[in-house]
Amino acid sequence: ARITFLLPDGTRQVLDSGDDPTVMHVAVRANLPFLPADCGGQLACASCMVEVPEAWRGRVGDPGLDEGDMIEDALGTRPAGRRLSCQIAVTEALDGLEVVLLDRQG
Ligand code: FES
């Protein structure tokens, strides 16, 4: 699937997911900034947080139970559209997906 990452400076990086299992893996393989993914996808760091634009939220879905708790722990709230990118599995249904990288990580 083709995934577009919108960076805080306004630039866009369009990447092909190849065999990467999650949106986090796609970004890390390309060494994108603002997505350290410190725990390597173990749902233990929240440093892979992204914002999903409204148009994509239906297809991407809401955070899972533990994922939502981690987002709330990191931010003190659960803003709509926030997801941990290591929990977004890449599928062909997400071809064309856009996600926003965040200038701060919690
Ligand atoms: Fe750590 Fe996603 S990489 S929670």
Q: What is the pLDDT of residue 21?
A: 98
Please report the domains of the chain, with CATH numbers, ordered by start residue.
Answer: 2-101 (3.10.20.30)
Residue located nearest, by CA, to atom 4 of ligand 1: 43
How many C-beta neighbours within 10 Å does residue 87 have?
20
pLDDT of residue 106 exceeding 70, the answer is: no
Residue 15 contacts residue 30 (beta carbons within 8 Å): yes
> Which pTM does this prediction carry?
0.95
Report the side by side order of strands in the sheet with 82-84: 12-16, 2-6, 98-101, 49-51, 82-84
Residue 25 contacts residue 41 (beta carbons within 8 Å): yes
pLDDT per position as a tens digit, 45-96? 999 999 999 999 999 999 999 999 999 999 999 999 999 999 999 999 999 9
What's the DSSP call for residue 38?
T
DSSP SS3 for 94: helix
Residue 15 Cβ inside 6 Å of ligand 1? The answer reads no
pLDDT of residue 104 exceeding 90, the answer is: no
Closest ligand 1 atom, CA of 86?
A: 2
